[in-house]
Amino acid sequence: MRLSQRLNLSLKRALDVVGAGVGLIVLAPVIGAVWLSVRIKLGSPVLFAQPRLGRDGQVFTLHKFRTMLEPDPDHGIVTDHQRMTPFGRRLRATSLDELPTLLNVLKGEMSLVGPRPLLPEYLPRYTPHQARRHEVRPGITGLAQVHGRNQLGWDQRFDLDVEYVDRHNLLLDVLIMARTIFSVLSRTGVEGEATVAMAEFLGPAPDDGLTEQILPEQWHDLRDQWQREALATNIHSARRESTAGTRYWVYLNDEHIPVGIGGLSGLGGLHLDASVVMNPEHQNDQVFQAVLNRLMNRGRALEARHIALCVPGANGTQREVAWNLGFAYSTDQTTPEMGTNVPPGAYSYAFTEGTEH
């Protein structure tokens, strides 16, 4: 390691110690007030403790203020969306839940600035490029957090993490901390796309030749345009009136041409409705299968219990694709093993205790 690099790391560590120490002293009244508020609003324990990956993949225990209720299946409190309270949302929006992580910084397990620490089970799922994020200490804030926080997809976050590894210096850290203050004050990007936290990272995207991105504003009319085309494959949700918590993604081929748009409704809940509309000029069974498989991965990452969709009777090949992917045809209003009502004629894919059926 060059002298300049060693000096940069020494100065960074000194900044971490001074910053965390001063922060804990100055913010002690705030920390005490938040501690008491969490104890009154959410009960015990006050702190959320969870193993996370640090530098070189070493595991440490991350401490934050708790923002969610404990899971209570008997009272229908299961998903992150159900467990989150208005009080917890305010803590996250102001980043006050992060204050105890200053102790992790003092102990040398974290830095003020760096890639966010993630779960140990993610380690074998990284590509070699993504794993480079562990070449530095994880941080309370980082390059990804000031470029959208939880609104970014995993690939975007990891690319920014590795960019930080390659570029990090004291000036960049100061700029990131300044932008973090702005992000906290503006309360931008605190929650994921339509859930209260980032969906689970399941590993690299499938090697299906498609690129996935949130449907951009300039293509909002594209879905309606395709639906009007007589030849377009249009797989609609099981409950057409279901619009709550809806998000759409567009899928591009290797020529950057949009070939399909997939959507999920009911995000934040256990039961999702899927929809797929294909580009009439580029549709084929392989692309349809790839898009539907991507939506299934989304549902799995969001810890849904099942996904339902309706395939019109004329789309025989699409029904076969859905069947081959594990979707079951429903002839009854009630499907007990999924714990929900599924309209007749819908195809449903159930996730049960982490496995697919």
Query: What CATH number is attached to the domain comprising 231?
Result: 3.40.630.30
CB 244 within 8 A of CB 329: no
- Show the domain range for 180: 3-186
Write the single-letter amino acid at 299: G
Note whether 175 and 285 are same-domain residues.
Answer: no
- Tell me, what's the pLDDT at 244? 59
Handedness of CA 108, 112, 116, 119 (dihedral sign): positive
Name which of 218, 231, 315 is nearest 279 in CA terms. Answer: 231
What mean pLDDT value characterizes the chain?
82
pLDDT higher than 90, residue 202: no
CA 46 from centroid of its chain's CA atoms: 24
Does residue 335 belong to any structural domain of this protein? yes
Does residue 196 belong to any structural domain of this protein? no
- Tell me, what's the pLDDT at 239? 59
Does residue 203 belong to any structural domain of this protein? no
- Tell me, what's the pLDDT at 323? 85
Does residue 205 belong to any structural domain of this protein? no
Decide which of 186, 220, 255 is a domain's last residue: 186
Does residue 198 belong to any structural domain of this protein? no
Task: Name the phi and psi angles at 260, rounded to 5.
Answer: -165, 155
Q: Cβ of 192: how many Cβ atoms within 10 Å?
A: 20
Query: In which band, very low, low, confident or very high, does the pLDDT at 237 lie, cut at 50, 70 and 90?
Result: low
Note whether 223 and 165 are same-domain residues.
Answer: no
CA-to-CA dists, residue 70 to 45, 46, 67, 95, 181, angstroms: 10, 11, 10, 20, 30
Note whether 10 and 158 are same-domain residues.
Answer: yes
Handedness of CA 29, 32, 33, 34 (dihedral sign): positive
pTM: 0.71
Handedness of CA 132, 136, 137, 143 (dihedral sign): negative
